[in-house]
Amino acid sequence: MSEQQQARILIAEDEANLRLVLQKELERLGYRVQAAPDGEAALRKLEESNVDVLLCDINMPRMDGMELLRRVYQRPNPPEVIMLTGQATVETAVEAMKLGAYDYLTKPYSITELDVRVKQAADKRKLRVDNVRLREQLARQSALPEIVSVSELMKEAIRLIERVAPSEASVLITGESGTGKELVAHAIHRLSSRAEASFVDLNCAAFQESLLESELFGYEAGAFSGAKGRKLGLIELADGGTLFLDEVTELPAQLQAKLLRAIETRTFFRVGGVRKVEVNVRIVAATNRNLDTVVNDGVFRSDLLYRINGFQISLAPLRERPEDIEPLARYLLKNIAGTHPPELTDEAFTALRAYTWPGNVRQLKNCLERAVILSNNGRITLSELPPEVTRPVVAVPVQQGVAPAVNGEALVPAAASSAPGSLREVERQQILAALEQTGWHRGKTAEILGISPSTLYRRLRDYDLERRR
Ligand SMILES: Nc1ncnc2c1ncn2[C@@H]1O[C@H](COP(=O)(O)OP(=O)(O)OP(=O)(O)O)[C@@H](O)[C@H]1O
Ligand SMILES: [Mg+2]
């Protein structure tokens, strides 16, 4: 008995004789067959059992074939439907096909003919079910493949991501530069019901105010000189999907007000536009700034913060989860160099684990990219790691007035020896060391530290390092 002939059939037919004959003949052909005298009874059977093919008469008491068909399609994973029709109802059968029925058969039909159609319909359903199952399997496998998380801190973050992603809540991701905020934003989108729609990202620190506004909201022709035609803004391009506002606290005040209104009313105006545009976006935002500080300083509106901070995921800096360094290094090396990446020596691993990584994962990645290029004989030793990693600046609290020492011999785990209050100082010293190394070239300094130029500029401002040189 072939697989198709195991297919499960439900016959909905009010004429008792015909129903019995059909059932007998189909059973003889090896199908598993149930029968119902009207639409309602058929629907009950469908609730109770899994059916591959529904044979559906059109004229039936209580619930006719068309109504049954509509109800069937409201259910998840419906069977394939073949309409059984008399000459008088052919047009209705065609209508049924438009609604999604697989086929129709006009009475009288031979059992052979019926067998062929049922087989085809069962095959189609099997393909459909297999397809759904494979896609679900694939989605599970590739859900979060690239977020390395060995530490409890990262595992907890992953748990939060998986929980919040399927909801519609806005999410604010906080964490130092290079901790993986953008990666997490992508993951949230991919695990959400909006995954098939677009993920649009905007770096709020990357443009000046006027440009940012037209990037975000678009503009109408003639909105300003040079605006020849209408341009759609990113918020509109993200309709139905996710809008990722990176470095959201850098948004200028006027735009914060506009964004707040757009989120609250789900409508906005294009620049120079008079017509409201409706939009349905989920906001995911990120910042590496301290939220209390930006709100207290009046840099960021608290009402906007409440709106986008429906759910917060904070990513710990790498120095607080050193267990992640080794698996991250292995993962990143594979990504950089393919299936046979150079191997890190034990000393190199020790150095990576001991370093404080002010630029977090991005800095680790940059460091490994450089090391791969420099590596010999498939090995990465201490010599291929940058000096700031192999000779870390030892954190010495400034209030003691002692100049930071550079330790060339032993590897000093600076993070371990530093009190929380001195972390800023560690970072300041790392930045200073990188600045000295590049002759105060800011682009190169940002690169070494693995942070974006805009983050570096902010740090220079924060640490009052701007006026040097
Ligand atoms: N847990 C992780 N597993 C794998 N890769 C990671 C992880 N965290 C970060 N990365 C990688 O590190 C790099 C920096 O991450 P990302 O750009 O997401 O950081 P960010 O927090 O957005 O930084 P910034 O604040 O500077 O924009 C990316 O290449 C990212 O893929
Ligand atoms: Mg980022």
Residue-wise pLDDT tens digits, 282-291: 999 999 999 9
Q: Is residue 467 included in any domain, yes or no?
A: no
Q: For ligand 2, a single-atom ion, which residues have Cβ within 5 Å?
A: 182
Q: Could you tell me if 302 and 345 lie in one domain? A: no
Structural domain boundaries, residue 105? 4-139
- Give the residue whose CA is nearest to atom 4 of ligand 1: 147
Q: Do 292 and 166 reside in the same domain of the chain?
A: yes
User: What is residue 420's predicted lDDT score, i.e. its pLDDT?
Assistant: 46
> Ligand 1 centre from 365 Cα, in Å?
9
What DSSP designation does 403 have? P
Count the domains in the chain.
3
Q: Residue 85 has what pLDDT?
A: 85
* CATH assignment of the domain containing 50: 3.40.50.2300
CA of 101 to the centre of ligand 2 (A): 48
Euclidean distance between CA atoms 388 and 70, whole angstroms: 68
Please say whether the dihedral angle defined by the alpha carbons of residues 154, 184, 451 and 449, taken in this order, is positive or negative.
positive
Q: Measured from the CB, is residue 191 less than 6 Å from ligand 1?
A: no
Cα 343 to ligand 2 centre (Å): 28
- Regarding the beta carbon of 362 and ligand 1, being less than 6 Å apart is answered yes
| Residue 451 shares a structural domain with residue 328 | yes
Is the pLDDT reported for residue 359 higher than 90?
Answer: yes
Q: Is residue 25 very low, low, confident or very high in pLDDT (cuts 50, 70, 90)? A: very high
Best substitution site from 153, 182, 184 to test ligand 1's pocket, by max atoms within 8 Å of Cβ?
182
- pLDDT of 19: 93
Same domain for 178 and 55:
no
Residue nearest to atom 15 of ligand 1 (CA): 180
Question: 191 and 254 share a domain?
Answer: yes
Please check whether residues 100 and 44 belong to one and the same domain. Answer: yes
- CB of 451 closer than 6 angstroms to any ligand 1 atom: yes
Q: Which of 75, 107, 139 marks a domain boundary?
A: 139
Q: Residue written as tokens 């052909």?
A: 29
In tens, the pLDDT along 181-222 reads 999 999 999 999 998 888 999 999 888 888 899 999 999 888
Q: 373 is written with which tokens? A: 């290029």
Same domain membership, residue 361 and residue 449: yes
Would residue 146 count as lying in a domain?
no
Q: How far is the CA of 89 from the centre of ligand 2 (A)?
A: 62
CATH number for 215 = 3.40.50.300
- In terms of domains, do 122 and 264 share one? no
452 lines ligand 1 (CB under 6 A): yes
Could you tell me if 305 and 178 lie in one domain? yes
Query: Quick check: CB of 183 below 6 Å from ligand 1?
Result: yes
- Residue 307: burial class (beta carbons within 10 Å; 0-12, 13-18, 19+): middle
Q: Which ligand is located closest to the Cα atom of residue 173?
A: 1
Mean pLDDT confidence for 429-450: 84
Does one domain contain both 224 and 288? yes
Percentage of the chain beyond pLDDT 90 is: 57
- Token pair, residue 102, equals 């697989």
In a domain, 468, yes or no: no
- Cβ of 249 closer than 6 Å to ligand 1, yes or no, is no
Nearest ligand 1 atom to alpha carbon 175: 21
- Quote the CA–CA distance of 216 and 235 in Å, as a whole number: 6
Residue 23: CB within 6 Å of ligand 1? Answer: no
Tell me what pLDDT residue 413 has: 41
Q: How confident is the model at residue 424 (pLDDT cuts 50, 70, 90)?
A: confident
For residue 147, tell me if it sits in a domain.
no
